[in-house]
Structure 1
């Protein structure tokens, strides 16, 4: 009986680890200063994943931060509430084939996300153009 309970506990632990996904609220952290810059809410809609800025926390940001360097419909749009990640599709353990907008420079990059294999509360976020890329680590807000 003890073995059976032990096996069940192990199975539940593996099920929980594999059921982790990227939905929820994440803190973006500046790699250089370590300052939390924003909270991003990632959600799933019709099989695709999106990320919306909930709150800008950067102490250097204006009271109402705008996407001043953005083009088109995003030009001077409030950053809070802005959907900056679009159309990511889950393929295995990776979320890809989507885009991410950097509100600081107004540029849109191809995007790929994956959970840190050692800590599912850490999300790797990669924006890239061809062979040039930048990867940030976001931390799940609990």
Structure 2
């Protein structure tokens, strides 16, 4: 009986976050805004607004991109979250591009089950990771 109740509660918690909950604008630490959108069955996130005081790429260009041909493109509007899929209440299986370093990392994104206006973005490099907090931007 206890096991059945525990499984039921787990399913309720997992199912409370729907794929559509991720869609929208999210302000990350530092002030930049990422807009998460869905294309087919995959999720992406583009830079919607840059921080007022960026730590690099002060001219607004993708200066650190390893592809020399892309170093002159504007950062606004580029996808930094790529090819994420929704599974078990979270987005995973894709990558995040860090324009400050020009590096790409494996990423996982999940929403706080107690506060759907709060999500976490975790970038992985091997066993190391860094987690960023993002808050939903209300229109």
TM over 0.5: yes
Residue range with higher mean Cα deviation, 74-83 or 93-102: 74-83
Structural mapping, 1:125-136, within 5 Å: 125-136=121-132
Structural mapping, 1:99-138, within 5 Å: 99-138=95-134
In 1, the alpha carbon distance for the partners of 2:103 and 2:58 equals 22
TM-score (norm 1): 0.77
Secondary structure in 2 matching 1:21: helix
User: How many correspondences in the alignment?
Assistant: 121
TM-score (norm 2): 0.79
Distance apart, 1:116 and its partner CA: 1.0
Q: Find the counterpart in structure 2 of residue 23 from structure 1.
A: 23
Cα RMSD (Å): 2.0
- Name which structure has the greater RCO, CA cutoff 8 Å, separation 6+: 2
**Unpaired segments ≥5 residues, structure 1:** 1-13, 31-35
From 30, 45, 48, the counterpart of 1:51: 45
In 2, the alpha carbon distance for the partners of 1:135 and 1:18 equals 19
Structure showing greater Rg: 1
**Unpaired segments ≥5 residues, structure 2:** 1-12
Distance apart, 1:63 and its partner CA: 6.6
- Cα distance per residue 1:26-51 (max 9 Å; x no partner): 10113xxxxx2x11110000100000
- Cα distance per residue 1:75-122 (max 9 Å; x no partner): 232111111110000001111000000110110000100001221101
In 2, the alpha carbon distance for the partners of 1:60 and 1:89 equals 29
